[in-house]
Amino acid sequence: MGSPGDLVTASARTRHARRLFAGIPSNYDLIAEVLSFGQNGRWRRTMVATVRAGLESTGREGLPVRVLDVATGPASVAIDVARALPSARVVGIDQSPEMLGAGVARVRAASLNGRVRFVLGRGERLPFPDGAFDAVTFTYLLRYVDDPAATLRELTRVLRDGGALGNLEFAVPTNAA
């Protein structure tokens, strides 16, 4: 799965997220459904379909596709991507060992062991070279990072030119008026 790297020196926000997610891997999808009023699954399917369409529009259908799923949690998106894109090789990265453990179990149960692998790490510091992925997905990440703009730059750094980027976030607007 990788090594924790700089997780030891993480910020207070990152340490909070690690504590929060350590206790919920088995209930993560249910919690996401409750917090999104039952929309999380639909939003996730739409995101994956949009990423797939973006990749298909580049004329790369049938070619091997490399996808990075950041904040993969229990691998719901990684599994959806692997199923939607038969040529995809997916890397799921998360800062929570507990979430990655749940992801490994779910990928094994889905018989996708050879197509989805996991790395322990943070979206703010991806251990991959520039342009390493054809697509990058992330869900519910930006609220748990100190610098969302820098994190977005890091996510796009590992995305090849013309690649597909998909995300799923929800929050209460700071200025609802």
pLDDT digits (tens, 9 = 90+) for 75-110: 999 999 999 998 899 999 998 888 899 999 999 999
Nearest to 121 by CA among 69, 47, 66: 69
Q: Is residue 173 part of a domain?
A: no
**What is the per-residue pLDDT for 37?**
54
Residue 59 has pLDDT above 70, yes or no: no
Confidence category of residue 7, pLDDT binned at 50, 70, 90: very low
Tell me the average pLDDT of the chain. Answer: 81
Q: Is residue 85 part of a domain?
A: yes
Per-residue DSSP letter, 116? E
Q: Is residue 76 part of a domain?
A: yes
More confident residue, 164 or 41: 164
Which of helix, strand or coil describes residue 133?
strand
Structural domain harbouring 73:
5-168
Count: domains in the chain: 1
Please give the sequence-ordered ranges of beta strands (E in DSSP) within the chain, or none if there are none: 65-70, 88-94, 116-120, 133-139, 159-168
Q: Is residue 73 part of a domain?
A: yes
Q: Is residue 177 part of a domain?
A: no
Long-range contacts of 40-43 (CB under 8 A, 24+ apart): 40/168, 43/168
Q: Is residue 58 part of a domain?
A: yes
More confident residue, 135 or 27: 135
Q: Is residue 57 part of a domain?
A: yes
**What is the per-residue pLDDT for 4?**
46
Q: Is residue 106 part of a domain?
A: yes
CATH code for position 142: 3.40.50.150
